[in-house]
Each structure stands twice: as structure tokens, then as C-alpha cells.
Amino acid sequence: MEVRAEKPEDIEAIRKVNVAAFGREGEADLVDRLRGVASTFSFVAVESGQIVGHIFFSPVAIEGKCADNLLILGLAPVAVLPDYQQRGIGSLLIQHSLAECTQLGCQAVVVLGSPKYYLRFGFTPAREKGLRCEYPVPDEAFMVLELKSGALDDCVGTVKYRSEFNKLE
């Protein structure tokens, strides 16, 4: 299996992966709204020429105190075709793309999701770093990973996703 950056010809397959994985159009629409926005990154997992997984990152802002020159990304969404789940594809996609994000100059990544899944990649509760989510979610569901150690030492406040997320229910 290969993980690589999205290409223009992948757009339709990426939609299909997100719709199949989430069972609705919302996440696929979100990706389409965010595509082309500065500092967004999109990667696909390819097996035997077929796109079986997709992951997307978009920049978040800290409302509070934080250095202006930090690039902090929100991981969302990540999706694997139902027939291909539970085979490690999601894990490979996440690990590989986090390494890519580091290369691309990102210092930290936040994610909203299941701690059971994301803690294995090194994410920790964001509240321990003084960061909270703008949405009313359980504390433990909002996590952060420093790609550069100590990057968030001087950051505290509310993490704001791009306005394109507001339409996602």
C-alpha cells in the first residue's frame, strides 16, 4: 500500500471513500469546500491502484495566546473504505501523513475523535496543553500532538477550525 499526496484525478474517488466510510455526504462536502485553501493537505492510501483511504488537514487558529508563526493543523476527516477497515490502513495513513506534515512545516496537529484510536499515535488530551475545542465536546475527545517538541509551550486558548466546518453537523 502506498500513501501519497492527493492528485486532481483522485477527487471523485476521495468523495466515494468519505461517503462510504461516514455513510453520509457531510465529510466529502467538507473536503470539497476546503480543497485549495492555503495550508490544507490531503493524502490518499492506494492499494492495487485503488484509493481505499483518505486523510485531510486544515489550519486551525488559537483564540487566546499563541505565537503567530506556528502552523497548527486540524486532522479531519480520515476515512477508509468499509471493506478495507481493520487492516491497519487508517494507522498507516495517519502515521505517514503526520510525518509529511512535519516535513511541510507543521508544528502541531489537533484532532477531535476517539481517544481509544488516537492516543496510539501520540496524541494527548489538548486540555493538558491549555487548549480547548470551540465545539461542545467531551474534554478527552479533543487531542493534540506536538510534531516539534515544546511547540505549544506558550499557547493557551480556544482552537478554532476553519469556518467551512460550521456546516458539518
Ligand X SMILES: CC(C)(COP(=O)(O)OP(=O)(O)OC[C@H]1O[C@@H](n2cnc3c(N)ncnc32)[C@H](O)[C@@H]1OP(=O)(O)O)[C@@H](O)C(=O)NCCC(=O)NCCS
- List residues binding ligand X (CB under 6 A): 21-22, 76-80, 85-91, 113-114, 116-117
For the bound state, the minimum distance from the C-beta of residue 89 to ligand X, rounded and expressed in Å, comes to: 4
Cβ atoms < 10 Å from Cβ of 99: 12
Whichever of 29 and 157 has its CB closer to ligand X, that residue is 29
Whichever of 60 and 79 has its CB closer to ligand X, that residue is 79
Beta pairing class for 61-65 and 156-160: antiparallel
Q: What is the largest CA-CA distance in the chain?
A: 46
For the bound state, the minimum distance from the C-beta of residue 120 to ligand X, rounded and expressed in Å, comes to: 8
Whichever of 22 and 130 has its CB closer to ligand X, that residue is 22
Whichever of 56 and 155 has its CB closer to ligand X, that residue is 56
For the bound state, the minimum distance from the C-beta of residue 75 to ligand X, rounded and expressed in Å, comes to: 8
Whichever of 106 and 111 has its CB closer to ligand X, that residue is 111
The whole-angstrom separation of Cα 59 and Cα 73 is: 4
Which residue, judged by CB position, is nearest to ligand X in the bound state? 90
For the bound state, the minimum distance from the C-beta of residue 44 to ligand X, rounded and expressed in Å, comes to: 13
DSSP state of 76: E
33: left (phi over 0), alpha (psi -120 to 50) or beta: alpha
26, 133, 135, 136, 158 from 43: Cα distances, Å = 19, 24, 26, 28, 27
For the bound state, the minimum distance from the C-beta of residue 68 to ligand X, rounded and expressed in Å, comes to: 28
